[in-house]
Structure 1
Amino acid sequence: MTVLPPPQELEPGPAAPPPEAGPLAARGPVQRRSPLPDVLRGVALAGILIVNMQDFAGFREWTQTGPDRVAQVITDTLANGRFISIFAMLFGWGAAGLIARQGPWTFLRRHAVLLAVGAAHYVLVWHGDIISLYALLGVLVLLTARLEAPALVGLAAVLGSWWLGLTLLAGLDVLGEAAGRFSGLPELLPSYAGNVSLRATEFGPLLIGSAVYNGPWLLALFCLGAAAQRTGLLLHPQEHRPLLRRLAVGGLSVGLPLGALLAYLNTRPEYAAGLLAIPVRMGGGLASALGYVGVLGLLAAAGRLGAWRHFAASGRLAMSNYLTQSVVMTSVFYPYAGAQWGRWGALGALALALAFGLLQLPVSAWWLRRTGTGPMEWLVRAVVYGRISTRPIREDPK
């Protein structure tokens, strides 16, 4: 959670609520689900870890050289801003479905629980928490409950264009200045207790500041997700092949060149380059995210997800996996745990992220076979619904 640019990679919130359903859906957690949303969520979770490794490991993008620079360019071109956009849209998709299925009071109870989980994560583990920000801003999705898909897309376009325009102007205003680059890295104290105390003091003001700064952009992504919920895009991709093709071709055609531009800007030490990287990162990230959704959606529509299905288990345990990533990586890198912070470059961090992200796939599948849900998912549902079913959730065969 950040206020000053450039913002940290926005971490995934918890697994989105169960898929959208019609008014006849039963109360409580859904027991059937389509594989595509969970695959997308699992892929996004792994990609976000790759980007967040800069923060965990404490390296600066523009100082990378040799193989580390190659790894940073790959990360910026293919991952930076991409997977968090997918996750934010999925959050909006799930929120819209929960409102339609359960009504506003269950929705508000769930967001209150998420806010508490996010606050604990921020204070006790990592300053980059995004669960609390999603919980706070996500409440505004209630205001869109009666909007149809075209209106939601239009609202997203207005909010997104406004935010991108303001951030672009901020970068252009300082072009030519010789000021040093803003690192965006956290202030770390040598003891765990000191960091907890610092984060507890700053949590409230930074949450509000981040909501003001990032709010329009995140709300735009939530609206796009809500539009997907209205149309059934993720539950029935076979009915939306033309749209998915347009997303795949158009999104990647725009997103990949902007990713290359982001990689260039992140090799520059100037403060202006850091500011200009923000709209390039988020605008290009959204374009590529839509492209990735299009590609995976077409595979799902054709029944050819193949190995991508392995990401579904991780996606179903997204909140538990996300929090585990934070605990493990801060334990490895932060000074009070291993004194590795600032000693790794982009290549080592990328390799570690890939290894750990892939490890979470079989572990998640193993856990689901035995329990049917993740520990944090169980806790949130138990508090929200007042009861919990441990039966495994079946995939929708459609």
Structure 2
Amino acid sequence: MPAPAPVRERSPLPDVLRGLAIVGILTVNMQEFSGYVEWRQSGLDRAAQVLIDVFANGRFISIFAMLFGWGAYGLLQRHGAVIFRRRHLLLLALGTAHHLLLWRGDIIGLYALLAWALLLLARPSVRGLLAVAAGLGGWWLLTGVLAAWAAGFGRAVEVEATRFSGLPPIRPGLDYAEVLARRAADFPGDYFAGALYNGPWVIALLALGAAAARAGLLTHPERFGWLFRRFVVLALPFGLLLGGLLAFLNTRTDLAAGLLAIPVRMSGGLLSALGYVGLLGLIAARGGLGRWGLFAAGGRLALTNYLTQTVVMTTIFYPYAGAQWGRWGAAPALALALAFGTLQLLFSAWWVRRFGSGPVERLLRRGVYGRASAQ
């Protein structure tokens, strides 16, 4: 079975988008890594939280999910169902280990699990894939809005409900064994119940990525300048407006605002993500991605960088190591994320020049294709 294409044959746009997404995801994940609570931020911390909500929250995770669908669909078309199943079983095992041993916020295993839906979507046309995405995504967003309405949004309540924080149950003094035991006990609810709840939305994003792969959107950007311009002019402004609404909802403490923030986050995130793809797509169509080489290198090591972020940040913040949990506001957490993300991009560029692919990517490729392909 042939190995994936070497570096010189790769289209740069997917790697640039993936590298950008990895840095952007870290800026959002810092809340769960460091333990700050959104609606308790003030001053500079609140300003940082607003920036994250408007420009990052839900945006880069949408790009990453669509790219996951893009890659999974391309793999299925090139190498068939056997290789597809093998790769996604390995990713599911890796994601499960990541969740249990390091951090409950894993997305790799979730995407690998839900990507099996693409086996049912191998034949539909681009329009068919878009219809699946619209149907599943629209239904999921509607249920989120209805849940917020049922919780009291839009009408006065005598007693304000307590908003959920979504943070893991971390407290000072926990050792690693205690954290691991609690994570293992919560695993079915966190992982599989989460997959059931978020499944329709994630599959919608995977289907959008599959549609992009079927159309050649990212490999031949010069053909789609008209579409990229529409993404920038139409999708991005509405996405940023919904980001502003998300920032407002994240200053409120009532349960209904917290529930409504979920569909607002993801719908605005998708629109902004399409806008970001449009901006970079226009640059790629004009042959101008050469200056984005650092992000392309970061995209080549996306899986390695993602796991490294977990190791470093949990070491800094979790009580069994650096014990900084709950001591940082949004502003220093954002600064740390940007600084560490920049270091990862620089390291990725050096690593790609020297070794070609990341260590985790190399191990995964060996498991999927065999020893020869890891060279």
- Normalised by the size of structure 1, how large is the TM-score? 0.90
CA distance in 1 between counterparts of 2:270 and 2:24 reads 14
How many aligned positions are there? 366
CA distance in 2 between counterparts of 1:166 and 1:205 reads 20
Contact 2:366 2:374 in 1 (8 A): no
Which residue in 2 is equivalent to 1:74?
51
- Following superposition, the deviation at residue 68 of structure 1 comes to 0.4
CA distance in 2 between counterparts of 1:284 and 1:380 reads 33
C-alpha distance after superposition, 1:256-315 (max 9, x if no partner): 100000001001111111011001000000000000000000001011224323200010
Which residue in 2 is equivalent to 1:187?
169
1:52 aligns with 2:56: no
CA distance in 1 between counterparts of 2:115 and 2:188 reads 17
Which residue in 2 is equivalent to 1:3?
none
Contact 2:294 2:348 in 1 (8 A): no
Could you tell me which amino acid in structure 1 is paired with residue 273 of structure 2? A
- Following superposition, the deviation at residue 81 of structure 1 comes to 0.2
Could you tell me which amino acid in structure 2 is paired with residue 70 of structure 1? A
Which residue in 1 is equivalent to 2:143?
166
Which residue in 2 is equivalent to 1:143?
120
Could you tell me which amino acid in structure 2 is paired with residue 225 of structure 1? G
C-alpha distance after superposition, 1:43-98 (max 9, x if no partner): 00000000000000100000000000000000000000000000000000001000
Compared with structure 1, are the counterparts of its residues 388 and 267 closer, same or farther at alpha carbon in structure 2 (3 Å cutoff)?
farther
Contact 1:381 1:388 in 2 (8 A): no
The structure 2 residue matched to 1:228, chosen from 208, 212, 218, is 212
Which residue in 1 is equivalent to 2:86?
109
- Following superposition, the deviation at residue 155 of structure 1 comes to 0.9
1:30 aligns with 2:14: no
1:123 aligns with 2:105: no
The structure 2 residue matched to 1:238, chosen from 210, 222, 229, is 222
Which residue in 2 is equivalent to 1:6?
none
CA distance in 2 between counterparts of 1:196 and 1:335 reads 12
- Normalised by the size of structure 2, how large is the TM-score? 0.96
C-alpha distance after superposition, 1:167-223 (max 9, x if no partner): 010011112441111010001260011111222233234321011100000000000
CA distance in 2 between counterparts of 1:180 and 1:380 reads 43
Unpaired segments ≥5 residues, structure 2: none
1:93 aligns with 2:70: yes
Could you tell me which amino acid in structure 1 is paired with residue 193 of structure 2? G
Which residue in 2 is equivalent to 1:332?
316
Contact 1:373 1:390 in 2 (8 A): no
Contact 2:249 2:261 in 1 (8 A): yes
* Secondary structure of the structure 2 residue equivalent to 1:224: helix
* Secondary structure of the structure 2 residue equivalent to 1:267: coil
* Structure that is richer in helix per residue: 2
- Following superposition, the deviation at residue 250 of structure 1 comes to 1.1
Compared with structure 1, are the counterparts of its residues 388 and 82 closer, same or farther at alpha carbon in structure 2 (3 Å cutoff)?
farther
Contact 1:119 1:203 in 2 (8 A): no
State, as a whole percentage, how many aligned pairs show the same letter: 61
* Secondary structure of the structure 2 residue equivalent to 1:103: helix
Could you tell me which amino acid in structure 1 is paired with residue 188 of structure 2? G
The structure 2 residue matched to 1:65, chosen from 25, 32, 42, is 42
Which residue in 2 is equivalent to 1:396?
none
Could you tell me which amino acid in structure 2 is paired with residue 348 of structure 1? P
Unpaired segments ≥5 residues, structure 1: 1-25, 392-398
Contact 1:49 1:353 in 2 (8 A): yes
